[in-house]
Amino acid sequence: NAGVTQTPKFQVLKTGQSMTLQCAQDMNHNSMYWYRQDPGMGLRLIYYSASEGTTDKGEVPNGYNVSRLNKREFSLRLESAAPSQTSVYFCASSDRGDNEQFFGPGTRLTVL
């Protein structure tokens, strides 16, 4: 099992460009999450999907959109990237909302 995979691992964007971060899990988990991690800030929840077909905003949703494509895949889209979105993005999954979350390796995004 690969667990949680994320692509790409690194990305550099210019202000105003768009991109989609991909996340997939092979653990048959119901719930999936997107976090961003900035120095000294811990992990902050951007969006989550409690189950296939549902998505909800987290703590810092502005500037992002998500799609729960199927049970395995949960993507995060930046429509018009801004320097404030420079961060490390982690995807996570759990089999239920109240169970342990497993994290992917992360995507390091720089917006110039």
Q: Which residues bind another protein (CB under 8 A)?
A: 33, 35, 40-45, 48, 50, 58-59, 90, 97-98, 100-106
At its nearest, how many Å lie between another protein and the CB of residue 16? 29
CA 43 – CA 92 distance, rounded (Å): 11
Q: Which is nearer to another protein, 15 or 41 (CB)?
A: 41
Find the farthest-apart pair of alpha carbons in the chain and give their distance in angstroms, rounded: 38
At its nearest, how many Å lie between another protein and the CB of residue 15? 26
Coil, helix or strand at residue 112? coil
Q: Which is nearer to another protein, 14 or 62 (CB)?
A: 62
Q: Which is nearer to another protein, 85 or 94 (CB)?
A: 94
Residues 61 and 47: beta-carbon distance below 8 Å: yes
At its nearest, how many Å lie between another protein and the CB of residue 80? 26
- Amino acid identity for residue 89 in this structure: Y
Coil, helix or strand at residue 94? strand
At its nearest, how many Å lie between another protein and the CB of residue 85? 19
What the block records as the tokens of 29 is 């988990």
